[in-house]
Amino acid sequence: MKLRFCGAARAVTGSCHMITFDGGSILVDCGMRQGADAKSEYGEGDFPFVPGDIKALLLTHAHIDHTGLVPLLVKRGFKGPIVSTEATSKLCGIMLPDSAHIQEQDAEYQNRKNERAGKPLVEPLYTSQDVENTLKQFKPTVYGKIVDICPGVRARFTDVGHLLGSSAIEIWVTEGGKTTRLVFSGDIGRDDRPIIKDPESPEAADYLIMESTYGDRVHEVSTDEEKEAEFARVLKNGIARGGNIVIPAFAVGRTQELLYYIKRMLVNNTVPGLEKVPVYIDSPLGIKATRVYAACGAECYDDETKALARSGDLFEFDTLKVAETADESKLINEAKGCNIIISASGMCDAGRIRHHLKNNLFKATTTVVFAGYQAVGTIGRMLTDGAKKIKILGVPVMVNADIQRIQGFSGHADQRELLNWVDEIDQKPAKIFLVHGEDSAIDALKDKLEEHGYNVAVPGMFEEFDLESGEVYATETKLVKPAAGKEAKPSKASNIKAELKRLMVALIDAIQDSAKVQDLADNVSELADQLEQRLK
Ligand SMILES: [Zn+2]
Ligand SMILES: [Zn+2]
């Protein structure tokens, strides 16, 4: 049996692991490379396998760095079942269409530039239609149940407290009468996070494939109550300042955690005056995700959340308002006094949050609240670093608002918590493969695990391990490019579509370039001739 690392190997994103046994190959996760990882020598679609040959795909959780290339896998011919928890499948049902929309927009933008520069047009990585096909292949399961995946493979999902539906996956593979248990940790969460349960460890593993995002860090511990108290203090001060309280938050996960605390403050009346403050969710994906969170309570909530849910709908209260359309979003600007505005993206580098910052940052009555990590180079990082003036949407804006940070919202276990999670596995793994981390984090965690007596390996990109012999293969990789004639040559319909887009762009340019009506008529007739030639 062989284990191959097709992503998140000495990198944080793009999780994708392949098990090959005498019955074929299956995958665990098929994520997109993001941020610095995206600038690699490999293209997004460079799978080191033929997608049509993969028997099944198992997903640890819905984050795009674990699921973002699933529609591309399907587009390239993968026909097997996609097995995940019900919540992961529901979250993929909103996150993958959102991802396709981004791919389509990016391609359209690129094509407008390419057209002007006379370069060939590009196709989106995948489309909404590819996602629609993908979602039909999902086979949701529940935590704790052993399910048959394909002949020779069974699996069980265990809650790891990272995101709604997140799981570690135990996989039993039987080859030549011998069964081997592989455990994929997925992303491991932390104890005492809002809404979801604490991480659990599986009881046994022959081999463990484990994340190491914060393998070199120790977080400050804060309980659920401490996080709520900190958030309540910031809201109290914000209400006293009198202006809007703007909260940048990831649409899936963080937005619901903040709503959960606000609901709890309202029920327990811990922030006087909060009941009069309108709370806006201004993010279409955030609104959809909140519906998924509301629907997955029975299986995913922890005891405190279940108790709160008994006192009424968890994510509903009188002052909650949602802005689904762009027009609804703009209307928030006209709201008077203090309003809480929760909007994406969490680091302020995209999305509607930028408009709210542009409209509110210069006012001394405004409060901006950050509840998550802010990467270097993002607007969020500049604000938390104390910038006094920033540029948003091309406009310089003075920062007179009160900038606040609340701690303890990280979704990833730290070094100590990762070690505890491994130590709680009763039957120790013969080998641990460390993935999903930067070099410094992986190396630090490797040292600690070795101190605890484990045998640790750090796979490189596309490396394959023979689990019987312990040999490492295939550092040199033959990448499977899309079959020539399939994607390389677009179909006639997509050709006409591309030509129409090209024509629209050229038309707009022609209108802008034509000083007189006669010039415009000449330019348009020339375009018509060109189009006729190209479609021949
Ligand atoms: Zn994750
Ligand atoms: Zn991840």
Ligand with an atom nearest the CA of residue 410: 1
Tens digits of per-residue pLDDT, 84-130?
Answer: 999 999 999 999 999 999 999 999 999 999 999 989 999 999 999 99
Banded model confidence at residue 486, pLDDT cuts 50, 70, 90: very low
Q: What local confidence, expressed as pLDDT, does residue 306 receive?
A: 94
CA 18 distance to own-chain centroid: 21
334-346 average pLDDT score = 95
Banded model confidence at residue 468, pLDDT cuts 50, 70, 90: confident
**Cα(321) to centroid of ligand 1, in Å?**
28
**Cα(328) to centroid of ligand 1, in Å?**
31
Strand order in the sheet with 54-58: 138-141, 82-85, 54-58, 24-28, 16-21, 2-7, 464-466, 472-473
Strand partners, 174: 179
The DSSP output letter for 119 is P
The DSSP output letter for 219 is P
Neighbours of ion ligand 1 (CB under 5 A): 63, 187
- Amino acid letter, residue 479: L
Ligand with an atom nearest the CA of residue 61: 1
**Cα(436) to centroid of ligand 2, in Å?**
7
Q: What local confidence, expressed as pLDDT, does residue 525 receive?
A: 74
Ligand with an atom nearest the CA of residue 437: 2
**Cα(348) to centroid of ligand 1, in Å?**
19
Q: What local confidence, expressed as pLDDT, does residue 259 receive?
A: 97
CA distance 458 to 434: 5
**Cα(375) to centroid of ligand 2, in Å?**
15
Q: What local confidence, expressed as pLDDT, does residue 63 receive?
A: 95
**Cα(1) to centroid of ligand 1, in Å?**
27
Ligand with an atom nearest the CA of residue 35: 2
Residue 260 has pLDDT above 70, yes or no: yes
Q: What local confidence, expressed as pLDDT, does residue 487 receive?
A: 42
Residue 485 has pLDDT above 50, yes or no: no
Query: Could you check whether the bond before residue 469 is cis, i.e. omega within 30 degrees of 0?
Result: no
Q: What local confidence, expressed as pLDDT, does residue 521 receive?
A: 77
CA-based nearest residue to 378, from 368, 390, 396: 390
Residue 421 has pLDDT above 70, yes or no: yes
pLDDT more than 90, % of the chain: 76
- Are the beta carbons of 300 and 87 closer than 8 angstroms? yes
CA distance 220 to 199: 18
Q: What local confidence, expressed as pLDDT, does residue 148 receive?
A: 98
Residue 185 has pLDDT above 90, yes or no: yes
CA distance 88 to 142: 10
CA distance 101 to 128: 7
The residues, ordered by sequence, that sit 6+ positions from 55 with a Cβ below 8 Å of its Cβ are 23, 24, 25, 26, 80, 149, 150, 153
Q: What local confidence, expressed as pLDDT, does residue 481 receive?
A: 61
The DSSP output letter for 275 is G
221-239 average pLDDT score = 93
Residue 3 has pLDDT above 50, yes or no: yes
Residue extents of the structural domains in the chain: 2-217+411-474, 224-409, 492-535
**Cα(528) to centroid of ligand 1, in Å?**
50
SS3 annotation, 345-397: CCCCCCCCHHHHHHHHCCCCCCEEEECCCCCCCCHHHHHHCCCCEEEECCEEE
**Cα(187) to centroid of ligand 2, in Å?**
5
Whole-angstrom Cα Rg for the chain: 25
β 153-159/167-175 pair status: antiparallel
Dmax over CA atoms of the chain, in Å, equals 82
**Cα(63) to centroid of ligand 1, in Å?**
5
Banded model confidence at residue 494, pLDDT cuts 50, 70, 90: low
Q: What local confidence, expressed as pLDDT, does residue 484 receive?
A: 43
Tens digits of per-residue pLDDT, 276-285?
Answer: 999 999 999 9
The DSSP output letter for 139 is E
Of 217 and 499, the structure prediction assigns the larger pLDDT to 217
**Cα(96) to centroid of ligand 1, in Å?**
15
Ligand with an atom nearest the CA of residue 37: 2
**Burial class of residue 278, CB neighbours in 10 A (0-12, 13-18, 19+):** middle
- Amino acid letter, residue 144: G
CA distance 174 to 172: 7
- Are the beta carbons of 380 and 349 closer than 8 angstroms? yes
**Cα(60) to centroid of ligand 2, in Å?**
9
Encode burial over 79-97: b for 16+ CB neighbours within 10 A, e otherwise.
ebbbbbbbbbbbbbbbbbb
Ligand with an atom nearest the CA of residue 31: 2
Q: Please name the fold of domain 2-217+411-474.
A: Metallo-beta-lactamase; Chain A (3.60.15)
CA 49 distance to own-chain centroid: 24
Q: Output the average pLDDT for the chain.
A: 91
**Cα(58) to centroid of ligand 2, in Å?**
15
Q: What local confidence, expressed as pLDDT, does residue 490 receive?
A: 45
**Cα(346) to centroid of ligand 1, in Å?**
15
Residue 489 has pLDDT above 50, yes or no: no
CA-based nearest residue to 99, from 46, 42, 44: 44
The residues, ordered by sequence, that sit 6+ positions from 236 with a Cβ below 8 Å of its Cβ are 271, 272
Ligand with an atom nearest the CA of residue 7: 2
Q: What local confidence, expressed as pLDDT, does residue 493 receive?
A: 60
Q: Do domains 2-217+411-474 and 224-409 have the same CATH topology?
A: no
Q: How far is CA 27 from CA 4, 70, 176, 467, 476, in A?
A: 9, 11, 20, 16, 20
Q: How far is CA 492 from CA 105, 108, 123, 149, in A?
A: 22, 19, 14, 38
Residue 393 has pLDDT above 70, yes or no: yes
CA 212 distance to own-chain centroid: 17
CA-based nearest residue to 481, from 38, 26, 28, 77: 77
Name the phi and psi angles at 352, rounded to 5: -70, -20
- Amino acid letter, residue 185: S
- Are the beta carbons of 147 and 58 closer than 8 angstroms? no
**Cα(61) to centroid of ligand 1, in Å?**
7
Residue 196 has pLDDT above 70, yes or no: yes
Q: How far is CA 148 from CA 28, 58, 89, 169, 173, in A?
A: 15, 12, 18, 13, 11
**Cα(215) to centroid of ligand 1, in Å?**
15
**Cα(500) to centroid of ligand 1, in Å?**
39
**Cα(65) to centroid of ligand 2, in Å?**
6
**Cα(277) to centroid of ligand 2, in Å?**
35
377-399 average pLDDT score = 93
296-305 average pLDDT score = 93
Q: What local confidence, expressed as pLDDT, does residue 480 receive?
A: 67
Banded model confidence at residue 221, pLDDT cuts 50, 70, 90: confident
| Domain 224-409 -> CATH class | alpha beta
**Cα(495) to centroid of ligand 1, in Å?**
38
Tens digits of per-residue pLDDT, 136-177?
Answer: 999 999 999 999 999 999 999 999 999 999 999 999 999 999
**Cα(508) to centroid of ligand 2, in Å?**
42
CA distance 490 to 73: 18
269-277 average pLDDT score = 96
**Cα(186) to centroid of ligand 1, in Å?**
8
